[in-house]
Structure 1
Amino acid sequence: MNDTAATLDATDPLASFRQEFHLPPGPDGQPCAYFCGNSLGLLPRAARAAVEREFASWEERGVEGHFLGASPWMHYHSTLAEATARLVGARPLEVVVMNNLTVNLHLLLVSFYRPTATRYKVLMEGGAFPSDQYALESQARLHGLNPDDVIVELVPRPGEHTLRTADIETKIAELGDSLATVIIGGVNYYTGQAFDMAAITKAGHAVGAFVGFDLAHAAGNLELHLHDWDVDFACWCTYKYLNSGPGGTSGVFVHERFAERPDLVRLAGWWGHDASERFKMKKGFRPMPGAAGWQLSNAQIFPMAIHAASLDIVERAGGMPALRRKSEQLTARLESHIRALNLPAAKLEIITPTDPAQRGCQLSVLVHERGRELFDFLADQGVIADWREPNVIRLAPVPLYNSFADVDRVGEALTRFFS
C-alpha cells in the first residue's frame, strides 16, 4: 500500500458519489464507515424526492396518474428496462423489474424446473441462502417429489471453504440427463465467492439442463453478461448493492430464446398479458414477449421510484465497469490490512477467494476466537459490518460510497483490537 488513502481518495473519479448517500452516524456522531452494503445499501439522497414526485402525481391526478405526468404509472416498469439491461449484460427484452426476489425465483422455477420421471434433479451450492433452499424444497413438493431425492448440494473439498469450478462441472456431468435445473447464487452470501457463471451455464446446457442464478449478491457488485453467457434465467434483489430500500423491488432476466414461447408453462397475471389487449378483460392469457410476460401485477410505483433514482446513480458513475474497477482496489486494500495482522489461520482467516475474478467487494472473515467481541468492537469504532453465525464477519467496501479512508479505518480498528 504505497499510496495513502488521502491520495487515492483525492484522485478517485467516483469520490463525489459518496455525497449522494446518507451515511449513518457512528458513536461519535461522525459518519460511520459503512461496510454492510451487501446486506442493505445506503439511502440515496435522490430517493426521497423521487418518491415525493409520485406522491404528488397521486395527490394531483388520482387514477389518472396511470396515464398522465412525466412517468405515467401504466408504463413505469418499462422505463427501467434499458438501465437494468446494461446493469446485468442483457437486452431490454430480457429484463423486467417486478415483485420481490423470492417471489420471482418461484415464478421462474415454475417455468424452468419441469421435472420428468428421469430428469428431476436440481443442483445448487451447499450453504445457499435459506430462501433459495426453501424455494427449491417447496418446488419439489409441488411436483409430488421428495426434496431429499431432488436437491443435490455442492460442498467444498475437505479443508476448503469455497467451491472449485472444475468440481461443479464434474458434478453436472456426473448427474447428466437426470439433471433438470441448475440454480446457484452468483455470489455466495456467506463466503463471498463469485462463481464462473459462463462455465456453469455451458456445463449445464451440455447435459440438457436449464441454468439460472440468484444474483442477490452479484447485481450491482459484479460485471454481468447474462445474455452472452447464455444464462436461461436469473433474478436479484435491489436493496443491497443497488441501494433501493429495505424490501425493495426485484429484477428478472429471461433469455430472449424464450421471448416468444407462449407455450412455456408459467403462472399468469394480467400485467404479463399482451398490453394491446390487457384492458379488454377477456379470458385466455397471451403473454407479453420477453421477460415482461412473467409479470403478474401492475408496477410497485414507490419502490420502483427509489430504484430508478439508484439506477441513475449507477449510470452516471459509468456503470458496472467503473464501479468494478474501484471495487477491486478497495477490496484488495482491505485484504492487505487483514493480512498485515499476521494472525494464524487458527485465529482468523479470510474465506473469500483472493483472486479478484472469484469475488466481488465482500470479504468474509472467519474469526475462530473472540469473534462476536471483535464485531462489537468494530461497531464501537464506528465500523458497521455484518455478523453471520457461527463466527463470520462480512465486510463489504462498496465503491459508490466507501472511501479508501474508510478501508484504512477498518485496518486501524483491527490493529487496535489484536495489538
Structure 2
Amino acid sequence: MVNGKSIEAAAIRIKSSIYESPLMHSKMLSRLTGNSIFLKLENLQMTGSFKERGALNRILTMTDDERRQGVIAASAGNHGQGVAYHATQRGIPAQIWMPRLTPLIKLSATRAYGADVVLHGDSYDEACEAAVERSEQRNATFIHPFDDDAVIAGQGTIGLELLQQNPNLDVIVVPVGGGGLIGGVGCAVKGLNARVEVMGVQTARLPSMQAALQHQGPVDLPGRSTLADGIAVRRAGARTLPLVREYVDQIVTVDEDEIAAAILVLLEGEKTVAEGAGAIALAAILQGKTGHSGKNIAVLVSGGNLDVNLLARIIEQGMVRDGRRLRLRVRLPDYPGALEGLTSIIAKSRANIVETSYNRAHYGVSLNEAAIDITMETRGREHASELLTTLKGSSYEFNVIE
C-alpha cells in the first residue's frame, strides 16, 4: 500500500544514491504565463529522468535471494536505464526488454549501464508481456515501470522534495503515463498539504489515465506514436488509478505541436534539454490549459533523454512555425543575372539564405523561365512579412512553401 509513511521510508532508503534535483524559478516562463513558475529538473538525474527513484526503491526492497536471481524490466527507455544503472551498481544481473523502435539514445545508454537489452515487439505493451513471461521462467524479479507499490513510493519522493524546497507552492503539474509518478507525488503532497493542487498532463494521442477515470477502470487504447514516448502507455495502472482518483485534481491533454513548442522554449529560454514526456507539463502551462493566473506553480521536467536527430527536427519545425525559417518558390526569367537580382533583394532585407534548389523542367515553368526554391532564416514573422512585401513590390512571382 502506498501512503505517506511508505513514501517517507522510500526517501530515506534512496537518499544516498539519488540526486536532489533543483527547483529553479524561471523569470522568463513566469512572464510568459502570468504565474510564478518553478522547474523541478529531474532531467538532471544520473540516468536523465525521475524513473531511477522508483527503480532504486524497488531494488533496495529485494531480498538477497531475489538479488541473486536478477531483475527484469520492460521499458520504452527511461525506466530501463534506471533499473540497469542501479541494479548493476549493486552487482544484480539486469535484463531490459524494449520495443524495437526505442530511440537510440535510450537503447545505447541502457546497454552502457550494464544491462542485457532485448528488443521485442513494436510497442511497450508487447515488450512488457514478453518480459513478464521471461521473468516467470527465470524466477527473476520483474520491476514494473509504474504499477508497483515500491516504484510508486519512490516516485512520490519528488513530492516531498517539492514541498521542502518551496512550502508556498499552489500547484504542481506532472506528466502522466501509467500513473506511477503522479500517483506517488499526489499522495505525498496531499498528505502534507491538501491545499496544493496536483494536476496531470497527458498526450492527446494516448490519454490512458483520462480514459481509465472516465470508464471507472483501466482500458486499452489503440497504440499511437507520440513525441512523448516516455509516457506512451496504452493502459493505465490498476494500482495507480485509485491514487490518481483520490489525490489528483485534474488531468488535461496537449497535442504534438504543443509538446514540440515546449521543448523548444525550454531549450532556448532555459538552456534545458527535455524529451517530449519531460516537457509535456510545461506545454500545458504555456497553452493555458490549467487555467491558473498569479499562482506559484511547480512544473516537473521529468526527463531529458532526447534523440539529437529528433531535436534537430523539432528545432527546424519550430523555426518554421515561428516564422524564423521561410521557404519560397520563385519564378525567374532564365537569363544571366536574374538570380543575382533576387539574392540582392534578399540580402538587403537582411534575410539569410541557407538552401537553394534551381529547376528548369518542373513546376509548370515555360521554356524561358526557371523556378528556384529558396530557404531563408529571418528574425520572425514580422521580418518575413516585410521581405514578402519587398519581393511583391519588385514584381517577383512566388509561392510560400508551407
Structure (1 or 2) with the larger CA radius of gyration: 2
Q: Compute the TM-score of the two structures, normalised by the length of structure 2.
A: 0.31
Q: Which has the higher contact order (CA 8 A, sep 6+)?
A: 1
Normalization by structure 1: what TM-score?
A: 0.30
Q: Which has the higher strand share?
A: 2
